[in-house]
Amino acid sequence: MLKRIIFVVLCTIGTPMVSCTGDSTDDEGAANTDTTQEPDTNTSADAALDTLFSDISDTPELDFGEDNNGTSDIEDMSSATDSDTSSVIDIAQDIASNELDTVSTADTPKPITDGIDQGNDTENTDDMATATDLLTPSDTSDTATPSGPSPIGCVTSIAAGHQSFWCQDRLFDIHVPAFCLENPCGLILDVHGLTMSAAMQEKNTQLRKLGEQYGYVVIQPNAQPDPPLASWIPGEDDVRIETFLSDAIAAYAINPAKIHMTGFSQGGFMTWRFLCKHADLFASVAPAAACTGGGADACGFVGNQTPAVRIPILYMHGTDDVLVPFDCAKNQRDAIINAWKLDQSATLSQDENHIRTRYTNVSGDLFEFLQHDYTNDSPVLKSHCFPGSTDSSPTEAGQLLSYGCNPPNAFVWGVEVITFFMAHPKQTAAQ
């Protein structure tokens, strides 16, 4: 299935990398390990795809399934107003234009909530994140670090702004607000999907810019090989990212109560894995366009595939996702609800194209499920896209597709992610 998807994309854009005559194949058997030979443009599609996928390991997570049976379960919803959706698009454009203020110790940042549908609870009684109750990086009275950040391991130098570091043969992009050189900040690990790069992920989440405003160091790793063949290898790449993450937490003296992870598609699969493996490290997580199966490294919320610590989860999935069918997302949702015995639910926001539901229990465990009907123009993606993203055309190196959902959208995914993270730091015993 994975080969067929990339084959269709490559043929659609007219790349010389493959010959589009003949049939493609769904056979994802043993990959050819010879990566030095240039692809022959006259070979069959099967042979060309074998060459193209020589560095991509087959994993259960990459078997997205042949059919998309997921249809929208959203019924009887009120329509969003034009002013609501236009405000959200304005926010996304402001972020893309780098018009947002940066963090400083003298100017406490205000959360972006204007135009974002915060649900039906106008009195804010359901403890959803609002402009008045979000944590801000200026709350540093008890977190001063006399020594400050210093290079450790793969983080070989300390500086504000954007840097890139090689660590165990993988390139890591990191953005550090100047505020964080003098104050312990939070950290967000933001992982891209198949065929993508850190730059493409940032193009869609804008978390570097949001992190700059709210005081979060943002790490965006790059898979190998380069796009469009970039693909994460579960296990191997997990260890590489764990290593760099550990070094960055120490090097930048990160606030341990504000470490979070999000990821899209393959990056979402990794987020689920890290949730089950490192729940004690993270304060909250936000996987998107990904669900887990029954593999050994899955996080299916059954048996021993359950996080050791129950941390808040925000999970987004599109109802017409071609790559990761919505039925899988519903199974993931139901497994979490059953495993954590989440017997209370409340609708936080909804219109004819999205619904966000919060599930809780008397113990305070929290899971939010955000489903949407938005699509983009690519037939191989459809709902496999970022709501609120301004990524409407391929502009980054190796980028085959744009991943933004067609506007108007009722929310901006990157804004929802950082809002959720700011509202859900790690709880202490006193809290």
Residue 344: predicted pLDDT: 98
Q: Which of 97-101, 118-122, 193-197, 253-257 is predicted least confidently?
A: 118-122
pLDDT exceeds cutoff 80 at 87: no
Residues 40 and 93 in one domain: no
pLDDT at 158: 98
Verify that 129 and 33 share a domain, yes or no.
no
What is the per-residue pLDDT across 392-422, written as a single tens digit (0 to 9) for each? Answer: 999 999 999 999 999 999 999 999 999 999 9
In a domain, residue 342? The reply is: yes
Looking at residue 108, its pLDDT comes to 35
Do residue 111 and residue 47 come from a single domain?
no
Q: What is the mean pLDDT of residues 40-62?
A: 36
Instruction: Please report whether residue 346 resides in a domain.
Output: yes
Shared domain for 46 and 163, answered yes or no, is: no
pLDDT value at residue 368: 99
How high is the pLDDT of residue 36? 32
290, part of any domain: yes
Average pLDDT over residues 225-245: 97
Based on the fold, state whether residues 353 and 221 are members of the same structural domain: yes
Q: What is the mean pLDDT of residues 259-283?
A: 98
Q: Is a pLDDT exceeding 60 seen at residue 124?
A: no
pLDDT band at 298 (very low <50, low <70, confident <90, very high): confident
Q: Is residue 62 part of a domain?
A: no
Asked whether residue 67 is assigned to any structural domain, the reply reads no
pLDDT tens, residue by residue, 315-371? 999 999 999 999 999 999 999 999 999 999 999 999 999 999 999 999 999 999 999
- 94 and 49 in a common domain: no
Q: Answer whether residue 411 is part of any domain.
A: yes
What mean pLDDT, rounded, does the chain reach? 77
Note whether 119 and 238 are same-domain residues: yes
The pLDDT, as a whole number, for residue 397 is 96
Give yes or no: residues 144 and 14 share one domain: no
Number of domains, the chain: 2
Query: Burial letters for 30-51: b for 16+ Cβ neighbours within 10 Å, e otherwise?
Result: ebeeeeeeebeeebbbbbbbbb
Q: Which residue has the higher pLDDT, 79 or 371?
A: 371
Res 115 pLDDT > 50: no
- Mean pLDDT, range 210-216, rounded to an integer: 98
Look at residue 294 in the predicted model and tell me its pLDDT. Answer: 64
Position 428 in a domain: no
**Distance, CA of 361 to CA of 202 (rounded, Å):** 34
Q: Clarify whether residues 309 and 234 are in a common domain.
A: yes
Query: CATH number, domain at 191?
Result: 3.40.50.1820
Q: Both 88 and 199 in a single domain?
A: yes
Name the pLDDT band for 119 (thresholds 50, 70, 90). Answer: very low
232 in the same domain as 196: yes
> Lowest-pLDDT range, 125-129, 185-189, 243-247, 295-299?
125-129
Note whether 50 and 86 are same-domain residues: no
Host domain of residue 351: 82-423
The answer to whether residue 131 is domain-embedded is yes
